[in-house]
Amino acid sequence: MAYLDNAATTPMYPEAVAAMAGLLADPGNPSSLHASGRKARRVVEESREKVARALGARPAEIVFTAGGTEANNIAIKGIAWNQRENDARRNRILVSSVEHHAIVDPVEWLRQSDGFTVTWIEADAKGVVTAQALRNAIGTNPEDVALVSVMMANNEVGSINDIASLTAVTREFGIRFHTDAVQAPSWIDVNFAELGVCAMTVSAHKVGGPHGVGALVISRDCSVTPLIHGGGQERDVRSGTLDTPAIVGFATGIEIAVGQRDENVARVKALRDDLVSRVMTLVPDAIFNGSIENRLVNNAHFSFPGCLGDSLLMLLDAKGVECSVGSACNAGVPQPSHVLIAMGADPELARCTLRFSLGHSSTKSDVDALIAALPEAIERAKRAGVPKPLLEVGVR
C-alpha cells in the first residue's frame, strides 16, 4: 500500500504507541485526589509541558480537547460569545474563504442561529490571505468585529499564511485573532508567543499522535465562554475527564515531530518535488494548484481535466494508492472544493482534483507506486467523464 493521505491522518510514531500502551490499564482519573489520580495528573501535566515547548507556549496556555474540530468550535463560539457579552457591538466574525469546515460550519451556525454576521476574507489565486485583504474585510467599522480566524496552513492546497503579519493588523484595532494550525507543526515553526494570536488549534493525529485528542492554545488575556459545562477541568474552558493515554500519545508525537522537523522537511520536500515533476511529465495537462514555494513541503495538489476526482481516487485505491479528493460530498453527490472556488478555479475543474500528502513515514516507493498506477487511472476516469452536479457551489 502507498499511503499518500498524511494531511488527513499521519501514522503514529511507534514511541507514541508505546507510551499510550503503558497507561491504558491504569485506573487513575487526573481529577481524583488519591495516589492513582495524582499519578495521572502528573503524567498529564508533564505532557502539557511537552506540548507547550513544542509550540512555543506556556503550559498554562494549553487546553486539551477531543481534537481539532472541538478546539475550533470552542475558539470560534467561545471567543465570539465572550466578546459580544462584553461589548454588544462586537457581533461580526471575519473568516478566510479557504478555511476547513471545522471553522466554516461553526461560523455558519453562529450566523444562522445566533445572530452574528460574517465577513469572508478573500484569498488570492494561491490560497493565501494578505494583510490588505484582512484590512479590506475589517473595513471602516472595526469596533463591531468579535473575532478573526485565518488558518496557518491550508489543508487542501498547503498554502501558508503569514499569521504574524495578519495579527499586526488586528492589534491596531484590539481584535481577537484565532488560527487553525492543525496542518503546521510537523512542517513549519510554530511559536505561539511570537504569532500574536489569542488562540490556536492543534491536533494530535496530524503530528504522529492518536486520534481523538488535540489542544486549544489560549493566551492568558483571552477569555472564552465554555461550550461544555461540568467538572471545570482545563481552566473551565473544556470540562470533562481527561484521556490520559491519548494526551501522552499526543505529547510524544508532537515532541518527535518537532524534534525531527528539519530532517523530515528536507527528505519529504525532495519526495514531493519528485512526485510533482513525474506527475506533470506523465500527465501534461495536469494543473498544479497553489504555490510551489509558499506551501507545506508535504503537499501536492492537482487538477486533472476531464477526470472526476472521486473516480480517480477509487481507481488508485484499487491499485493500492491512497490519497484524497479536494472536495466535499453532499448526499453522495461530489461538489467542487470551496477552497478552489475561492481561489478562482473553474467549478468543473475544481471537481477534478486529487491531493497527495506525504509524511514522516513516506518513501520513494510510495511515489513510484503512484506513478505506476496513475496512467491507467487517468485513462479510465477520462472515459467515464465528469457528470454534472445536482447542486452548484457558489463563491462566497
Instruction: Kindly indicate the confidence band of residue 87, based on its pLDDT and cuts at 50, 70 and 90.
Output: very high
Residue 386 has a pLDDT of: 83
The CATH number of the domain covering residues in 14-258: 3.40.640.10
pLDDT for position 385: 83
Element (H, E) at 179: strand 177-180
Give the β-pairing of 199-203 and 321-322. Answer: unpaired
Question: Residue 336 has what pLDDT?
Answer: 87
Decide if 175 contacts 147 (C-beta within 8 A).
yes
State the pLDDT at residue 335: 75
Rounded to the nearest integer, the mean pLDDT of the chain is 94
Rounded distance, CA 115 to CA 162, Å? 30
For residue 96, is it left (φ>0), alpha (ψ between -120 and 50) or beta?
beta
**Contact yes or no for 42/361 (Cβ under 8 A):** no
> Which candidate in 198, 222, 329, 352 is catalytic?
329
Burial 151-166 (b: 16+ CB within 10 A, else e): bbbbbbbbbbbebeeb
Whole-model pTM: value is: 0.94
56 burial type by CB count under 10 A (0-12 exposed, 13-18 middle, 19+ buried): middle
Tally the residues of the chain.
396
pLDDT of res. 396:
46
Confidence (pLDDT) at 284: 96
pLDDT band at 174 (very low <50, low <70, confident <90, very high): very high
pLDDT grade, residue 228 (50/70/90)? very high
Banded model confidence at residue 331, pLDDT cuts 50, 70, 90: very low
Question: What is the pLDDT, as a whole number, of residue 394?
Answer: 46
* Alpha-helical runs (H) found in the chain: 14-21, 35-55, 68-86, 101-114, 131-138, 163-173, 192-195, 244-259, 261-282, 309-318, 338-342, 364-384
**Percentage of the residues of the chain whose pLDDT score is greater than 90:** 91
What is the pLDDT confidence band of residue 326, given thresholds at 50, 70 and 90?
Answer: low
Query: Does residue 157 surpass a pLDDT of 80?
Result: yes
The phi and psi torsions of 241 (rounded to 5 degrees) equal: -65, 130
Are the C-beta atoms of 267 and 215 separated by less than 8 Å?
no
Range(s) within the chain of domains with CATH label 3.40.640.10: 14-258
Distance separating alpha carbons of residues 199 and 219, to the nearest angstrom? 6
The three-state secondary structure class of 177 is strand
Confidence of residue 334 (pLDDT cuts 50, 70, 90): low
Residue 145 has pLDDT above 70, yes or no: yes
CB 196 within 8 Å of CB 134: no
pLDDT band at residue 387 using 50, 70 and 90 as cut-offs: confident
CA 34 vs CA 38, 124, 289: distances in Å: 6, 55, 55
pLDDT at 328 over 70: no
CA dist 282 → 74, 276, 303, 376 (Å): 45, 10, 14, 11
Please give the helix or strand (H or E) that residue 300 lies within, else none.
Answer: strand 299-303
Q: Are 211 and 249 in contact (CB under 8 A)?
A: no
Residues 158-179 have a mean pLDDT of 98
Contact, 123 vs 129, CB < 8 A?
yes
Query: In the chain, where does the domain assigned CATH 3.90.1150.10 lie?
Result: 261-384
CATH number corresponding to 261-384: 3.90.1150.10
Residue range 206-223: mean pLDDT, rounded: 97
Q: What is the pLDDT of residues 21-32, one digit of tens each?
A: 999 998 889 998
| 329 carries an active-site annotation | yes
Read off the amino acid at residue 232: G
Q: What share of the chain is helix, strand, coil (3-state, %, to 5)?
A: 45, 15, 40
Q: How confident is the model over 286-299, as pLDDT tens digits? A: 999 999 889 999 99
Q: Which residues pair with 218 in a beta bridge?
A: 199
The Cβ of residue 119 has, within 10 Å, a number of other Cβ atoms equal to 17
Report pLDDT for 389: 67
Indicate if the pLDDT at residue 329 is higher than 50.
no
- Compute the average pLDDT of residues 260-272: 98
What single-letter DSSP state applies at residue 233?
Answer: T
